[in-house]
Amino acid sequence: MKVFFKNSNFRLFATGSFLSSAGDVLFYLAFMTYASNLKNYSLAISLIAISEAIPKFFTLFGGYLADKTRDKFKSIFNLALVRCILYTIVGLLLTTKMNDWNLVMCIALANFISDTFGTYSSGLVTPLIVAILGKENYAEGSGFANGMSQTISMLARFAGASMLLFMSYSSLAFINAATFLIAGILFALVGKRVNTQKLPLPKSNKLNFFQTLKTSFKQVKKQNNLLTMISILVLLNAVLAVLIPLFTVILATHKQTMLIGNYSFTLAISETIVGAGMILGSLFGPTIFKKTSVFLLAILASILALFASLSLFINNLFVILGTFALLTFFVATISLKMNQWLISSVEPSILGSTASLLNTLLMASDPFMTMLLSSITAISNIYIAISVLLCFNVLVIFLIITAYLKNKALKANVSLADSEA
């Protein structure tokens, strides 16, 4: 938090990132609310979930392009401007008399394009924060930025749902566009100041995409147990990615018993509670669990994931949200500890690519799981999808415990060999 107040460049850049985070989610709940009112709401919600999931496939390409980008501040400004234009178009479409399903498809496409550009923008953020703060202050700055971004996202979700009480869908889309515009302006201002102060930026490397991928993978692999831990988190993130879409369908199915006020307000409250877990994990998790093994944290997270999946059968809003919040707390803690591990062990010239490689690996199964379970929900029954998720949860727990025991045995053998030497 100190670095935010002491470094004016980081303060402006972080504020732009916060607004960009708000833009990512401000219209999301409104869109979900609109979709929930359609006759086949489960299919509409599934389409939205898929449009959110597929861009995650492009995260690695976004990081690679970010490393190749010379004028990173100009690029992040242009991306914010394009996303502003996309949501302006969405706002205009909502003022027309277009068929509901055609409108849902158009908005889902705009959301897909915006999130795809967002993967490139996210790839630019890591090297820019390092350039502004330096590696020694990256952990503090990144932890604060992550925590605040989650806070802003949470407030933006709540604000978006609240605005629907007195504002049209189109007006909210225009406000969403404005957040990206202001974020872009702030990025441009920081770019001018950073260039003036001649802060060092990572140099664009000369490797092609596959060479960069290979180099990044080698650097990750050199770190003992990092690749194993990434594989574990891939599975945990897959569970976390599908819980929210499944929950939104459960909520739409039980509107008479689970709602607090209306659908959009309940979604906003839900996102707030779950987001609080992510915020607390980002801000305090690494400090609280500084000396705790990442493997032990992963075991706890996998058990919580099982309870979170089981809670969907109960149809009790507060039990569901409580388990979701605890799960996000541990996942955020693990992810941030691993990001710091990564930053301290890779070359600056491929920092964006390697960070994106980590994020891509962490989210590798998200789109697949989201599309699979969303499709099962759309064509059959939500509870069949939850049952499939439960089976996956049991498999995850088994694999994590197995990895933990192998790691423990390996450490014991290394200690024995050292003592004998």
Q: Are 268 and 37 in contact, with CB atoms under 8 Å apart?
A: no
Structure tokens at 309: 């999946």
Burial letters 274-312, b for 16+ CB under 10 A, else e: bbbbbbbbbbebbeebeeeebbebbbbbbbbbbebbbbb
User: The tokens 């994931």 sit on which residue?
Assistant: 305
Structure tokens at 247: 């929950």
Cα separations (Å) of 252 from 45, 263, 382? 10, 7, 11
Cα separations (Å) of 49 from 44, 112, 232? 9, 10, 23
Q: Are 217 and 354 in contact, with CB atoms under 8 Å apart?
A: no
User: The tokens 């897959």 sit on which residue?
Assistant: 238
Amino acid, single-letter form, for residue 290: K
Eight-state DSSP code of residue 237: H
Q: Which of 190, 204, 198 is nearest to 73 (CA)?
A: 190
Eight-state DSSP code of residue 277: H
Cα separations (Å) of 138 from 67, 69, 173, 189, 199? 18, 21, 34, 21, 15
Burial letters 348-385, b for 16+ CB under 10 A, else e: bbbbbbbbbbbbbbbbbbbbebbbbbbebbbeeebeeb
Under-70 pLDDT residues of the chain: 1-2, 60, 134-147, 149-150, 153-154, 157-158, 161, 195-213, 215-217, 219-226, 339-367, 410-421
Q: Which of 326, 160, 320, 162 is nearest to 243 (CA)?
A: 320
CA separation for the pair 87, 420 (Å, rounded): 66
Cα separations (Å) of 395 from 242, 243, 311, 362? 16, 17, 18, 17
- Say what the pLDDT of residue 219 is: 65
Question: How many residues are recorded in the chain?
Answer: 421
Q: Which of 53, 73, 29, 187 is nearest to 115 (CA)?
A: 53
Helix H segments across 289-381? 294-311, 317-343, 351-362, 366-379
CA separation for the pair 182, 188 (Å, rounded): 10
Structure tokens at 101: 């399903």
Q: Are 60 and 356 in contact, with CB atoms under 8 Å apart?
A: yes
Amino acid, single-letter form, for residue 58: F
- Say what the pLDDT of residue 138 is: 63
Name the phi and psi angles at 59, rounded to 5: -60, -45
Report pTM. Answer: 0.61
